[in-house]
Structure 1
Amino acid sequence: MISSFDERRNEFKPYGLTCELWSPSLMRKPDRHNEIEINYFPEEGITYLFQGRKVVAPPRRLTVFWGLVPHQIIDFEKANPYYVCTVPFSLFLEWKLSTAFVDSLLKGEVIFEDKEENSNYDEFLFKNWLNDINGNGSTEIALLEIHARLSRMSIRKLSSERKEQVAMQTNEISHVERITVFIAQNYSEPIKVSDIGQAVGLHPDHANSIFKKTFGSTLSEYITEERISHAQRKLVATDKSITDIVFDCGFNSISRFNAAFLKINGCTPREYRKRYK
């Protein structure tokens, strides 16, 4: 099955962990989602618009960017299918890749594999990930391979540019993005709205207000969604007990976890594991 961009989808609506074949189409509005997006174009590249910058994504070279940065396809030569993989931002941060690589993505940079020959096996990898993530293999193995592939790419980027690992200053990204990063890095801890406000230098009520205006959900709701997303991954990719997963993803009450999980997924954690594992 080949997908394409749905212009009716809500901005910031999460894709989650996915790997699919997409058909390019001109996008009348930009897409934004809080996942790391990985593209691979086997035949023809496409032209993106990133926050007013035109970026030509070349064929046969792995392309990586942060989906929260507004991006839209404005040109392509042929409607040849290409691979799209999305990785939840919180999971990406757990991988602890090189600081310079992560900071470049957070600053809105589109990162390409430096040489085409370094992507010789990427289509083979994508075919396996597509199969694994869509229920015909092991999601856990796919995640290990994606992690390893991005690790190798980050090492090459550092080597080619020979730059020091300098942490990005918090004032280089918007308040909303800073809030998102803070939640992604700390959702498994017992954080409160006041903690988030303090971390980004805003009054908690103001932080909550601008976040809700942007994402359509409160900070508390978003933290819960991040924790449930983490639990979904653990339920499918590991054999850890549900009790262990509850506390692993930041909940301090099994009953609250069960209620939140049922509300978001329409089923219990046990039913979810049985359905997708």
Structure 2
Amino acid sequence: MKTFNERRHEFKPYGFTCELWTPGLMKRPDRHNEIEINYFPEDSITYFFQERKVTIPTKRLTVFWGLVPHQIVHYESASPYFVCTIPFAQFLEWKLPSLFVDRILKGEVLIETSDEYSVYDEFLFNNWIGDINKNNQADVTLLEIQARLARMAGRNLREKKKEFSLVHANEISPVEQIAVYIAQNYNHPIKVSEIGEAVGLHPDYANALFKKAFGSTLSEYVTEERISHAQRKLVTTGASITEIAFDCGFNSISRFNAAFRKINHCTPREFRKRNR
């Protein structure tokens, strides 16, 4: 089982995961650019989200954007809980209802108010852990998580009432706006000047602000998002490497191969063979 590593670099991506975690008091907040899904089958856990303590109840699916600082400050027992992390760009590709997505991007933590689906959720999480870590069926797991979140969002729209508990909401910062813009546009040719213009900042200032937060320049981050998308395509589809390269926003196969090798220390073909 996993526990929070306090030495991990802030903003370091978790990627696509579904795991059992053991709770522990966190000496500092965690931040990562993935959508995080929590499920506590036995005991509640209290997080500190920026300026507010929030107790997540048992047997309630909980969803929030990992870019919002979050820190466990209290837990009832060491009972394990489920954690899934979904790459941000993947989450946006699912085209879930805009109200649901917008609330998450504005920093809300969405908690289902009913435990009606608790038995179903626990069954799903156990299956997802096995499918990702033992059965090499990440593509199936992604489809099921997408469907589960779509149901969660759909009930809210159909019933026209507040299905989720609002825990925390605030306008997203310029750095978060940049991350959203890149996640929505990385597969197109984009320039640093366009990113700055999109969020109302001078390109040099946007680049400096982003590098201070994420430890990489805007250009480097765009490349990382493209390669992350390519990794998912290589593992979950049968598309050709050339097709994947252009689909991810690269304008030449040579640039794609060079960028992929620099990040993964192997070729796309080797990566596909190793992970399939």
Query: Scaled by the length of structure 1, what TM-score is found?
Result: 0.95
1:93-172 mapped onto 2 (5 Å cutoff): 93-160=92-159, 162=161, 172=171
- Which residue in the other structure is 1:69 paired with? 68
- Which residue in the other structure is 2:166 paired with? none
Q: Which amino acid aligns with 2:46?
A: T
Classify the secondary structure of the residue corresponding to 1:21. Answer: strand
- Which residue in the other structure is 2:229 paired with? 230
Alpha-carbon offset, residue 133 of structure 1? 1.6
Q: Which amino acid aligns with 2:255?
A: R
Alpha-carbon offset, residue 161 of structure 1? 5.1
Alpha-carbon offset, residue 114 of structure 1? 2.4
State the number of aligned residues: 269
Query: Scaled by the length of structure 2, what TM-score is found?
Result: 0.95
Alpha-carbon offset, residue 135 of structure 1? 4.1
Q: Which amino acid aligns with 1:68?
A: L
- Which residue in the other structure is 2:14 paired with? 15
Classify the secondary structure of the residue corresponding to 1:188. Answer: coil
Alpha-carbon offset, residue 45 of structure 1? 1.5
Q: Spell out, residue by residue over 1:6-50, the C-alpha distance to the aligned partner (whole angstroms, 9 max, x if none).
A: 000000000000011000000000000000000111111100000
CA distance in 2, matches of 1:118, 1:124: 10
Matched, 1:189 2:188: yes
- Which residue in the other structure is 2:246 paired with? 247
Alpha-carbon offset, residue 132 of structure 1? 1.5
1:55-94 mapped onto 2 (5 Å cutoff): 55-94=54-93
Contact 1:187 1:223 in 2 (8 A): yes
Unpaired runs of 5+ in structure 2? Answer: 163-169
Q: Spell out, residue by residue over 1:222-276, the C-alpha distance to the aligned partner (whole angstroms, 9 max, x if none).
A: 0000000000000001111111000011111111111111111111111111111
Contact 1:135 1:276 in 2 (8 A): no
CA distance in 2, matches of 1:137, 1:258: 24
Q: Spell out, residue by residue over 1:176-232, the C-alpha distance to the aligned partner (whole angstroms, 9 max, x if none).
A: 000000000000000110110110111111110100011110000000000000000
- Which residue in the other structure is 1:166 paired with? none
Q: Which amino acid aligns with 2:176?
A: E
Contact 1:30 1:72 in 2 (8 A): yes
Classify the secondary structure of the residue corresponding to 1:126. Answer: helix
Unpaired runs of 5+ in structure 1? Answer: 164-170
Alpha-carbon offset, residue 162 of structure 1? 3.7
Contact 1:211 1:219 in 2 (8 A): yes
Which of 69-78 and 150-159 deviates more? 150-159
Q: Spell out, residue by residue over 1:71-99, the C-alpha distance to the aligned partner (whole angstroms, 9 max, x if none).
A: 00000010001110000000000001111
Q: Which amino acid aligns with 1:86?
A: T
Matched, 1:53 2:52: yes
Contact 1:113 1:119 in 2 (8 A): no
Structure 1 residues 18 and 267: CA distance shift in structure 2, 3 A: same
Q: Which amino acid aligns with 1:200?
A: V
CA RMSD in angstroms, aligned pairs only = 1.2
CA distance in 1, matches of 2:236, 2:207: 33
CA distance in 2, matches of 1:117, 1:234: 35
